[in-house]
Amino acid sequence: MDPLLRKSFVGEVLEVQPGRRQIVACISTAAVDRDGEVVLPAGLLKKNYAGLTVFYNHDTTRPVGVAQWVKTRGGRVLAKYRCTDKTQFARDVFALAQDGVLTSYSVGFAPREVSPPTPAEVAERPELAAVRRMYRRWELLEFSLVGIPANPEATMLAISKKVSPETWAVLQPSVDGGGHSPALQRAAPSDSTRAKALVGPPAPRHLSSAEIAALIAGRLQPPDWDALLDRILARHAGQVE
């Protein structure tokens, strides 16, 4: 059985589509990680990653969404995924990711080709001198949102989103190593907030004729994801309005 390796990365949300509950994010780069290793984005094996389940903290009992695609662009690994609204936990995670509270990702992968950096690579990137391994070819098996920033601003922002007690029970160990910080205890959600947070998703509504036509058109002619991604990256870089 192929070994499963996991590497965490403080990512970046490039675009959020609230109505569709979709997020485009950077989930990995060629940076040197804390293990003194590098996972090269260009080494991602090309395959269709649509349908890959997205978890929280690699916990297979806590799925939060499904990947629509995974691509390499400009030395980064980018992913578009849709968060489900069928569980309170997933709704909370989407809200926290949307507001920049949850920004870290971790990729689980099987290495296919590994070697130390070459002299030419070290000459181009001196920080590689201390690197032990370069994962040059690898297969993505899963990726997860991980952690929550341990700072008061992020904590208060999360509370303002009316995160449910059940979600806090999962996220809290990531804040302070398992205990409950005084700041969080002072700002704990009220009973009324908890009651509102536990209310399920809004009742379904009937689609309009225009929405039905748009859905049919989308199925008949899939969007050009490469062109859309290029526009997202250009807008994120400030190159277009």
Domain boundaries, the chain: 5-149
Take residue 167 and report the two structure tokens written for it: 């979600």
pLDDT (0 to 100) of residue 124: 96
pLDDT at 61: 92
Helices (H), the chain: 88-98, 119-124, 152-160, 165-176, 182-186, 191-197, 209-220, 225-236
> Which pLDDT score is estimated for 175?
45
Quote the pLDDT of residue 8: 85
Rounded Cα–Cα distance for residues 133 and 38 (Å): 7
Distance CA 128, CA 116 (A): 9
Report the 10 Å Cβ neighbour count for 58.
17
pTM of the predicted protein model: 0.65
pLDDT digit of tens for each residue in the chain (241 aa)? 567 899 888 778 888 889 899 999 999 999 998 889 999 999 999 888 999 999 998 999 999 999 999 999 888 999 999 999 999 999 999 998 888 878 888 899 999 999 999 999 999 999 999 999 999 999 999 999 987 543 444 444 444 556 677 776 776 655 444 433 333 333 344 444 443 444 444 455 666 656 555 555 554 455 555 665 666 666 666 655 5
pLDDT on residue 180: 38
- Round to whole Å and give the CA distance between 141 and 47: 11
Note the pLDDT of residue 24.
92
Residue 45: CB partners within 8 Å, gap ≥ 6?
Answer: 112, 137, 138, 139, 140
Look at residue 13 in the predicted model and tell me its pLDDT: 82
pLDDT at residue 14 in the model: 86
User: Residue 150 has which token pair?
Assistant: 């341990």
